[in-house]
Amino acid sequence: MADVAAKREADSVVPDELLQRVKRAKADHENGGEEAGEKSENVLCGFKTSHVLGASDREKTIFIHGKLADQEAVVILEKTPIREDTLTELFSGSTLKLEMRNDIYSTYRLQAPPFLNEIKTTVVCPATEKHVKKYKHQESFLVEETDEDYRSITLPYIEMQRFSLQWIHNILEKKAEAERIVYEDPDPDVGFILLPDFKWDQKQVDDLYLIAIVHQRDIRSLRDLTSEHLPLLKNIFQKGQEAILERYNLPASKLRVYLHYQPSYYHLHVHFTKLDYEAPGCRVERAHLLADVIQNLQSDPKYYKSRTLYFPLRADDGLLSKFKEAGKL
């Protein structure tokens, strides 16, 4: 009951903003597909598919590897959820094709107006081999990493092989996504930028996903955290939750706030997702609740320097090979 009330409460405030987006999408469509203030040329018209890396009928996503103007590319297509605030337009503006009718039962194919039938599309181009591997559906293995394994196996590997952090530096320097920032604390020690994760299309709060990226540039991951970072972590936790309450009307009790270990990008960032949303990477073997991280560092200042940590790695992850070579698997 409380959940339903909270959802209704959240939905009743946020839709103003969301409704504007729907209206913009409709206007964009009517204006020939231009995004507000930005031309959206179809960069994908020349995309040549090499192979499908993975697909999920349940999640309605497909990950495709291919070429875009002779460059390696990964394209992710994802059907977006049906939103309650668009139902009136969906019912009045669609065509219905009857498939079958039997007694009180009937099924149809509903063809919605294009602005209510968008596919969220993510393009990584040029994509490295590591990107292709990351998005490829693969078997996973749970790895046990002692503090010594971290120093002798993981750290040297991530120093050599990690993904570029350019997109993060662009955000911190306001060279990209500046207009998407939800909240910023500019303090160089405890400050951060909170903005929508690129997996979230921001059209509904049901799959809310934001990330807080710290201004400090020398914290790679959970493993680097000590009690010295408590003011930073507490600041992100408190101000991130306050900003989300103010902007999206979602209280802290509806949020899952966590760090990944291992992350894909070794610049400290914190994930904020809606509690009911099963975001990719929110399972126990990868996600560490920020509240727990804070408590662990309060009870042991070097907790993450000394603990054995567990995490999943995919079959063709180079780090998994390093653990195998060291006889750890």
Residue numbers at the binding site for ligand GTA (CB under 6 A): 61, 76, 78, 122, 134-135, 167, 177, 195, 197-199, 211, 260, 263-265, 280-281
**Does 15 appear as a known binding residue?**
no
- Would you say 6 or 181 has its CB closer to ligand GTA? 181
- Would you say 14 or 270 has its CB closer to ligand GTA? 270
Give min distance, CB of 121 to ligand GTA, in A.
Answer: 9
Q: Where are the beta strands (DSSP E) in the chain?
A: 48-56, 61-68, 71-79, 95-102, 105-111, 119-124, 140-145, 183-185, 192-196, 209-214, 255-260, 269-274, 287-289, 309-314
- Would you say 195 or 325 has its CB closer to ligand GTA? 195
What's the N-to-C CA distance of the chain in angstroms?
47
Give min distance, CB of 39 to ligand GTA, in A.
Answer: 20
Task: Name every residue whose Cβ is closer than 8 Å to that of residue 107 and which is 6 or more positions away in sequence.
Answer: 98, 99, 100
For residue 51, the surrounding DSSP H or E stretch is strand 48-56
- Type of residue numbered 245: L
**Does 269 appear as a known binding residue?**
yes
- Would you say 13 or 275 has its CB closer to ligand GTA? 275
The catalytically annotated residue of 65, 131, 229, 269 is 269
- CA neighbor of 325 nearest in space, from 157, 160, 162: 157
Give min distance, CB of 107 to ligand GTA, in A.
Answer: 28
**Residue 65: active-site member:** no
**Does 262 appear as a known binding residue?**
yes
Return d(Cα 253, Cα 243) in angstroms, integer.
14
Give min distance, CB of 94 to ligand GTA, in A.
Answer: 26
Instruction: Identify any residues that bridge with 222 across adjacent strands, giving them in sequence order.
Output: none
**Does 260 appear as a known binding residue?**
yes
DSSP alpha helix (H) spans, 119-207: 129-135, 147-149, 155-161, 166-172
**Does 263 appear as a known binding residue?**
yes
Residues at the binding site are: 167, 177, 197, 199, 260-271
Q: Which residues are catalytic?
A: 269
Annotated binding site for substrate: 167, 177, 197, 199, 260-271
